[in-house]
Amino acid sequence: MLKVNIIGNLFLLFFLFNCAKCESSKLLSVATLYRHGSRGPMKFYKNDPYQKVADEIWPNGLSELTIIGKNQQFELGKWYRERYKSFIPDKYDRNFIRVLSSDSDRCLMSAASNLAGMFPPKGNQIWNKDIPWQPIPIHTTPMNQDALIYLGKPCPKHDKIVQELKNQEEYKQFVQYLQPTINYIEKHIKEKCNTIEELIFIHDALFVESFYGLELPRWTETFYPNYTMPLLALFFKLPAYTPQLARLNAGPLIDYITTFFEEVLEKPNNSQKFLMLSGHDNTIANLLTSLGLYDNTWPEYASSLNIEFKSRENQPFINMYFKNSTGIHKLTLNNCSFNCSFGRFKKLTEHLRINPDLWDKECTNV
Ligand SMILES: *[C@@H]1O[C@H](CO)[C@@H](O)[C@H](O)[C@H]1NC(C)=O
Ligand SMILES: *[C@@H]1O[C@H](CO)[C@@H](O)[C@H](O)[C@H]1NC(C)=O
Ligand SMILES: *[C@@H]1O[C@H](CO)[C@@H](O)[C@H](O)[C@H]1NC(C)=O
Ligand SMILES: *[C@@H]1O[C@H](CO)[C@@H](O)[C@H](O)[C@H]1NC(C)=O
Ligand SMILES: *[C@@H]1O[C@H](CO)[C@@H](O)[C@H](O)[C@H]1NC(C)=O
């Protein structure tokens, strides 16, 4: 009996050892795209009762990162370090990480807060013993030239196709369907509010106010959040609604990330390994829509899309995760398994991928 057990255990050990070996994969690179942390409202509606207390609650101003937001990002940075603890070097190393941010203040400040959590100074990096922080470069591009993160660089072709979509009967019917809500809101706020964008500003103001514990006026209960939330999903999906739109919208970012991974393969000893992108809800939602992965939810503050580039037996593959307050969710590309081979990933996204020069050309070809 004892003998059988020993043999059985040996066999089990052998089996586990072998399987651990065959299953083990190596992390080659990570690209993360997160939404900035909590901010003040983008703007107030005309008779918003909380304008009076704005300076007290959001002292940095409208749409700026708050203390809660800084903490959310600091925690996210610590979480990155923890998740990739055998991958991220103990000390900040410029050859390891590249940080790109949208040029909006809240994203730049989010990147700084995040890096404070990820790379507290160690050893000879400590430059002031009272400050457990070190400066780390954050690269950015002016908004009107940013086709990667802020998505503010003009693309006439994209605008034209969106306008064509908006002229379609389906869209017009949708706006019609909103008309009673629009009338209702306009009656209460005593100003015009007849575009999807303006409705979203109201939704956002209400969301931020309730996030900061303020009681919403009773008249908003009939439409917030159930009625205006789907507008956000529409707003996020529209810019990447068709493959052609998706290419002009998230295509440059898909190209940037894919190129980053290719460089890791081509120059394993001479390439940065961690790409950190500090962006907006629409950066995430547009990219997910383009990849066919968007589930109509509003990306939360400091939620993070993590694209992990791994290899097993020299075969590179991609894993995608979306991290938010409810957990770490696996994302699986259509027509690919969760462990999606890099070759297949590239094939499936080939029609979206576009480099900056080609993007300029296609955008101006109206
Ligand atoms: C993906 O690969 C890992 C090993 O890298 C393995 O443990 C896991 O079971 C695989 N998952 C799927 C869904 O194939
Ligand atoms: C909003 O939606 C939730 C979930 O579907 C539902 O429980 C709630 O009653 C709705 N509220 C209003 C005011 O319609
Ligand atoms: C990278 O570095 C390792 C270890 O220093 C070395 O064995 C390998 O040949 C290098 N690879 C390339 C492509 O230079
Ligand atoms: C978190 O992300 C998952 C996956 O996208 C989504 O189903 C869930 O609703 C999100 N949670 C929140 C609170 O947004
Ligand atoms: C991918 O999946 C879709 C359905 O999700 C299917 O219509 C299409 O033919 C598939 N394409 C490939 C290349 O497998």
> Domain holding 325: CATH number?
3.40.50.1240
Measured in angstroms, how far is the CA atom of residue 305 from the centroid of ligand 3? 30
The secondary structure element, H or E, covering residue 76 is helix 67-83
**How far is residue 346's CA from residue 333's CA, in Å, rounded to a whole number?**
11
Average pLDDT over residues 210-231: 95
Q: Which atom of ligand 3 is nearest to the CA of 268?
A: 13
Ligand closest in space to the Cα of 340: 1
Span 260-313, pLDDT tens digits = 999 999 999 999 999 999 999 999 999 999 999 999 999 999 999 999 999 999
pLDDT at res. 306: 99
> Where residue 194 falls among pLDDT bands split at 50, 70, 90?
confident
Active site residues: 36, 281
Whether 74 and 114 have beta carbons less than 8 Å apart is answered as yes
pLDDT at res. 47: 93
Say how many C-beta atoms besides its own lie within 10 A of residue 134's C-beta.
Answer: 17
Give the structural domain span for 93: 31-159+239-364
Residue 123 resides in a domain: yes
Q: Tell the residue nearest (CA) to atom 7 of ligand 5.
A: 335
State the pTM of this model.
0.92
Residue 191 resides in a domain: no
Residue 15 resides in a domain: no
Measured in angstroms, how far is the CA atom of residue 151 from the centroid of ligand 4? 23
Which DSSP symbol is given to 130? T
The number of distinct structural domains making up the chain is 1
Residue 21 resides in a domain: no
Q: Tell the residue nearest (CA) to atom 3 of ligand 4.
A: 329
